[in-house]
């Protein structure tokens, strides 16, 4: 096996630290493993994406280590709440909302995400 790069060593270290920090917190270890498996197929040449995910993982590690974190979960879309796939070239317009007292929750019961993603 070839020697690991500095970034690879950092990612493996982060993985171990996340697993240790997640011990005793429901869902944390499974979530950490799932996240790392999901991105395991990234090509080594995609350094920008890897560094971004590494920084994101560092922030999650800080949150896990804080005394306020008691569990770790994931937001998932329910199977019944998925939309129909759109036909190629056909755009669907959202329904007009004339009622200004619209609920802050979308049709799936989860908070709406602003257009800028924040």
Give residue-wise pLDDT tens across range 106-117.
Answer: 555 555 555 665
Tell which phi-psi region holds residue 91, choosing left (phi > 0), alpha (psi between -120 and 50) or beta: beta
* pLDDT for 26: 87
What is the value of pTM for the model shown? 0.58
Condensed to tens digits (0 to 9), the pLDDT of residues 21-64 reads 988 888 889 999 999 999 999 999 999 999 999 999 999 999 88
Condensed to tens digits (0 to 9), the pLDDT of residues 59-79 reads 999 988 887 776 666 554 556
C-alpha distances in Å from residue 86, one per residue of 31, 46, 50, 117: 31, 31, 31, 22
| Tokens found for residue 79 | 């199977």
């Amino acid at each position: 096996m070839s020697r690991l790069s500095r970034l690879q060593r950092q990612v493996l270290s982060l993985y171990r630290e996340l697993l240790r920090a997640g011990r005793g917190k429901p869902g944390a270890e499974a979530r950490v493993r799932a996240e790392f498996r999901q991105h395991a197929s990234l090509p080594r040449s995609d350094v920008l994406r890897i560094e971004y995910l590494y920084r994101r993982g560092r922030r999650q590690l800080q949150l896990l280590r804080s005394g306020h974190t008691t569990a770790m979960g994931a937001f998932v879309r329910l199977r019944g709440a998925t939309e129909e796939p759109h036909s190629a070239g056909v755009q669907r317009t959202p329904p007009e909302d004339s009622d200004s007292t619209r609920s802050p929750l979308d049709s799936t019961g989860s908070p709406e995400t602003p257009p800028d993603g924040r």
